[in-house]
Structure formats: C-alpha cells, structure tokens
Copies of this chain bind each other. A is one copy, B any other.
Amino acid sequence: MLKAPDHQVAGHRARDGKLGPLIDDSGRFYKPLQDSERGSREVAFYRDFSTNAEIPDCIRKFFPVFYGTEMAEASDGSGLCSHLILQDLVSGRCSPSVMDIKIGSRTWYPEASEDYIEKCLKKDRKSTSVSLGFRISGLQVFESKESGFWKPGKKQVSNFTPEDVRLVLRNFVSSNPSVDSKNPNCSLVHSVYGGSSGILAQLLDLKAWFENQTIYHFHSCSVLMFYEMEKLLEGRASVVEIKLVDFAHVVDGKGVIDHNFLGGLCSLIKFISDILDGSDESSAKACNLEPEKKLISTDNGHKQ
C-alpha cells in the first residue's frame, strides 16, 4: 500500500531501490530512521514537541502532525525498518507548487562531530546559506496541465547564486516559471505571498515565536512553502501554507533564542517583502566600501 511521494522536492528519494520516505493513501508520510542518531533525535524532537504544553496552537499548526513510529517495509527492499509516521503535508493537494528552503546561515552546531561540522561548513559556504542566511533545497512550480511542473534538477538547485534565489522566489509565484527566462510574471504574488493569510503573514507569525522561544535550536531545518495554483485561480482560500520539516538536528535551546534560525528567517522575509513591494530589483543599494588606496593623500595637511 506504500508508495513514493509524488511531490517531494528535496532529501533522499525512495526510487530506484534507494531508501526514502513513503506515503500511504490515508494521508500519512513514512520517514525511515536510517542513521540511528539522526533518526532517534528526530523521534525525540517529535515526542517532546507533540506533548509540550508551551507550544501555542498558532505555532503548532506549522509542524506536521506526528503519529508515532512504526515498523514498515523499507523502500530499498532491505526489510522492515523503523519509520516516523507523520502527516503527509501535500496529501489530497492538486498539483501543488512546493519549495523547500533550509533556514540558517549555519547548519552545524557545537555538539556535532568535527567531521560533520566541516562537511556542513563547506556546504554552507558553497551554497547561499552563509551569504543569505538560507538556501533553496528544491522546488517544483506548476505551470499548466499541459506542461506540468517546472522542477530544476538537484545539481542546478545546489548551484543557485543569491541572484538565482531572488529570481526563483519570483518564479515560484509566476505562471511562466523558468530560471532561464529572467522575466517571471509574478502573476500570483499577491495571492501567494501577500494578504492576511499568505506566506509573508505566516512567516511573520513564525518570526514572532522565534524571537521568544528558547526551547529548541533548529539546525538544518526547512521551511516548506506550498500552494495550489488551480484552486487559487478558482478563488478558493486556505491553500497557501508553510510548514517546518526535518528535525534530525534539533538540540536543546538552553534558555537562548535560536538566533541562527531567526536571522535566516528574517532574511527570507525581507526577500519576500521586496518581491511583494516590487522593489526587489532596486534593493541592492549603492555603497562604496572598497578600501581606499591612497589614504595618506587624504589626510588633513600633515606630512609623514
């Protein structure tokens, strides 16, 4: 009864005999616990979070529902293995446009091994994580029934520059998406990013929580943004959502806010606000910070 999800845009895939998540037809998402520490850390997070009375409902809705763990046939044919059972976020969605954005300029954390830290740091520097405070991990944008989705490949996504990211965030709300055409029409920008229940409003609610919460630090965690273009065009509401996913590297906040996640989230918010304001193309303000070559000659009349 289990099958590979249709609308996964990032992470390991349960295809070609590989280990990856599966879904059933009742709206559940089966995430295999491959590496024991990561897997068990993610289970620990869901257990703690799902029973933590301090999480307000307006924040809890941004997280997938957790149904426990369960043994199930692994997608790679290796037999039964333990799976996290979660809400399938796009279950029942019609041709959803989806983007996975890994938040934070730093995906590593002091408690991790030196090998892991080095690997993460390298990737953070190579991608836009260090420069922008977030990186796009994957996406698909629905174009039309005829042409289907625009879904750039893994390699292309991992090479996104800051300029690409700005363009892709515009493409995500366009009916003519493609990173090669530099003129996405942004036809859906107000219904997807704007309004009182749009993505910007939801990100701002999340930000307000992160300014205060000191329970968890989320490393390598993603914001998933998704919407259904066809339903939007029919004028239906509540089809634009954000969710947080991937909690294999959540650690105890120890009374300190998650400044790394918050900083990246604020940067994403600014990108989306700029697009909404239509000011994204003029936002790179001129400034002249090149070190001066001839300092001596600008001194006030003294001689060396």
Interface residues of A (CB under 8 A from B): 33, 36-37, 39-41, 43-45, 47-48, 52, 54, 68-72, 79-82, 105-106, 110, 121, 125, 130-133, 162, 166, 211-212, 214-216, 250-257, 259-260, 262-264, 266-267, 269-270, 274, 280, 283-285, 287-293, 295-296, 298-300, 302-304
Contacts and interface: CB of A to CB of B under 8 A. Distances in A.
Nearest to A304: B80
Given A259-B267, A262-B263, A270-B214, A37 B254 contact: no
B43 A292 contact: yes
A121 to B, nearest CB: 8
A166 B81 CA distance: 45
Contacts of A215: 285, 287
Given A300-B68, A303-B71, A270 B212 contact: yes
A36 B257 CA distance: 37
Contacts of A267: 256-257, 259
Contact of A44 (B166, B290, B304): B290
B259 A211 contact: no
Given A68-B300, A106-B106, A255-B283, 14 more contacts: A43-B298, A69-B299, A69-B300, A71-B299, A82-B295, A110-B125, A110-B131, A133-B256, A211-B270, A255-B274, A256-B270, A262-B263, A263-B263, A263-B264
Nearest to A70: B300
Contacts of A105: 106, 259-260
Contacts of A45: 289
Contacts of A33: 295
A162 B68 CA distance: 35
Nearest to A33: B295
Contacts of A37: 291
* Copies assembled: 2
Contacts of A269: 211
A284 B254 contact: yes
Given A264-B259, A289-B44, A302 B252 contact: no
Describe A's contact surface by its main secondary structure.
mixed
A79 B82 CA distance: 72
B287 A252 contact: yes
Nearest to A250: B289
Contacts of A254: 162, 284
Given A257-B266, A262-B263, A295-B40, A289 B69 contact: no
A175 B15 CA distance: 66
A72 B256 CA distance: 45
Nearest to A165: B256
A48 to B, nearest CB: 5
Given A212-B270, A300-B69, A291 B44 contact: yes
